[in-house]
């Protein structure tokens, strides 16, 4: 097994609201290995983005508060570093691509000004050298006429082009870890697949590790080596992508997989897609026991009172459910 780049141990995050305090992430654990892509998958509100923002300590505190756990990177617990130390890590060692490039780019600065600023924050280069590197980066993300693009503003680019600029910015300082939070959500299907291919190639070329946040299992199968499925702030199943897609054990993972459109299926014509009935519970109204029990077709009495612990299918594949693997 390769080296662990990022080790998240028992991470707990809560939010204070006028209605009281609630838990958004309930003590999750995962490791990101050197050179791999790990996908965090689940419906909106399951804690994926909160987890990603916690790694970079970008959650607004208050209302958010990291109330427990450790995030180990390069022998340091990121949760114990000062703001100054974290500023040195963000962008340089760990970078993030955010969901919406239009709101993440500064509308009143040219792309060149934004790229140069990012580079100069972490690299000891002259402005001229930073500008040259910016142009090279735009070429690397396959934007045509990079020199021209540096003089343009974000609104002059299409959504796909803006996302390429965000990727260039995230890669500017050659990070070891790239966090991509729903990087293709706002894009149409063709551009989505181009961006995924680009991310995959750039990751392999640079030897980075990637934490990919998505609700789209189609995205995951193209790019991730491992998947961690989250539900209501908990990790419910983790395993190698192909293993988990072909042999899911947790009822929620099974539901996610069977609700995917499948163009190969003979039954697709005239049939409704299967859905997971009900909704993700509000964070301040999570049920006792297994949070998934009101939506689970296999739920029994114990599920309503006792939270399931993690079981091993094998060394690489775990799930959290009261049922034995053979009984689902």
| Residue 292 sits in the site that holds ligand SF4 (CB under 6 A) | yes
Among 167, 303, 317, 318, binds ligand SF4 (CB under 6 A): 303
Count residues contacting ligand SF4 (CB under 6 A)?
Answer: 13
User: Which C-beta is closer to ligand SF4: that of 167 or that of 321?
Assistant: 321
Return the number of other C-beta atoms located less than 10 Å from residue 212's C-beta. Answer: 27
Q: Residue 323, interface with ligand SF4 (CB under 6 A)?
A: yes
Of 89, 166, 202, 290, the residue at the interface with ligand SF4 (CB under 6 A) is 290
Residue with tokens 């299907």, as numbered in its chain: 189
Nearest 5°: phi and psi at 310? -75, 135
* Residue 47 · residue 66 · CB < 8 Å: no
Asked whether the beta carbons of 13 and 23 are under 8 A apart, the reply is yes
Could you say whether residue 217 binds ligand SF4 (CB under 6 A)?
no
What minimum distance in Å lies between the beta carbon of 257 and ligand SF4?
Answer: 14
Distance between CA atoms of 240 and 39, rounded to whole angstroms?
A: 10
CB of 215 to ligand SF4, least distance (A): 19
- Shortest gap between Cβ of 34 and ligand SF4 (angstroms)? 32
Beta-bridge mates of residue 30: 8
Tokens of 87: 């500023």
Which token pair is 67?
A: 């109330």
Q: Is 153 in the site for ligand SF4 (CB under 6 A)?
A: no
From the list 47, 172, 296, 318, which residue makes contact with ligand SF4 (rule: CB under 6 A)?
Answer: 296
Segment contacting ligand SF4 (CB under 6 A): 72-80, 87-95, 209-217, 291-299?
Answer: 291-299
Nearer to ligand SF4, 146 or 233 (CB): 233
Q: Which stretch binds ligand SF4 (CB under 6 A): 150-158, 159-167, 196-204, 293-301?
A: 293-301
Part of the chain binding ligand SF4 (CB under 6 A), chosen from 57-65, 77-85, 241-249, 287-295: 287-295
Q: Does 299 bind ligand SF4 (CB under 6 A)?
A: yes
Q: Which is nearer to ligand SF4, 19 or 300 (CB)?
A: 300
Residue 29 beta carbon to ligand SF4: minimum distance, rounded to whole angstroms: 18
Closest approach of ligand SF4 to the CB of residue 76, in Å: 36
Question: C-beta of 236: minimal distance to ligand SF4 in Å?
Answer: 7
Each residue 111-140 as x (binds ligand SF4 by CB under 6 A) or -, in order, gives ------------------------------
**143 near 165, Cβ under 8 Å?**
yes
Chain residues 225-264 in contact with ligand SF4, contact rule CB under 6 A: 250-251
Per CB under 6 A, residues contacting ligand SF4 are 250-251, 290, 292-293, 296, 298-299, 303, 308, 321-323
């Amino acid at each position: 097994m390769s080296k662990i780049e990022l080790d998240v141990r028992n991470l707990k995050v809560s939010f204070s609201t006028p209605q009281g305090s609630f838990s958004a992430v309930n003590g999750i654990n995962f490791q990101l290995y050197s050179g791999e892509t790990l996908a965090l998958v689940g419906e909106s509100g399951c804690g994926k983005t909160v987890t990603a923002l916690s790694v970079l300590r970008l959650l607004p505190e208050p209302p958010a508060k990291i109330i427990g756990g450790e995030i180990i990177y390069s022998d340091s617990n990121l949760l114990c570093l000062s703001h100054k130390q974290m500023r040195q890590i963000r962008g340089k060692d760990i970078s993030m691509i955010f969901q919406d490039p239009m709101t993440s780019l500064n509308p009143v600065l040219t792309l060149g000004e934004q790229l140069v600023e990012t580079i100069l924050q972490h690299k000891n280069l002259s402005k001229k050298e930073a500008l040259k590197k910016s142009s090279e980066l735009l070429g690397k993300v396959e934007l045509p006429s990079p020199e021209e693009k540096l003089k343009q503003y974000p609104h002059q680019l299409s959504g796909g082009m803006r996302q390429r600029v965000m990727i260039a910015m995230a890669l500017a300082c050659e990070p070891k870890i790239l966090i991509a939070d729903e990087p293709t959500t706002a894009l149409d299907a063709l551009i989505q697949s181009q961006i995924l291919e680009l991310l995959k190639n750039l990751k392999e070329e640079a030897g980075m590790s990637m934490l990919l946040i998505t609700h789209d299992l189609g995205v995951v199968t193209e790019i991730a080596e491992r998947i961690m499925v989250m539900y209501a702030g908990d990790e419910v199943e983790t395993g190698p992508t192909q293993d988990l897609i072909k042999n899911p054990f947790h009822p929620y993972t099974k539901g996610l997989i069977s609700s995917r459109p499948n163009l190969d299926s003979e039954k697709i014509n005239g049939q409704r897609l299967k859905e997971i009935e009900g909704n993700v519970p509000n964070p301040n109204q999570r049920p006792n026991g297994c949070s998934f029990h009101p939506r689970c077709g296999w739920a029994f009495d114990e599920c309503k009172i006792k939270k399931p612990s993690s079981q091993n299918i094998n060394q690489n594949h775990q799930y959290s459910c009261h049922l034995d693997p053979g009984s689902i």
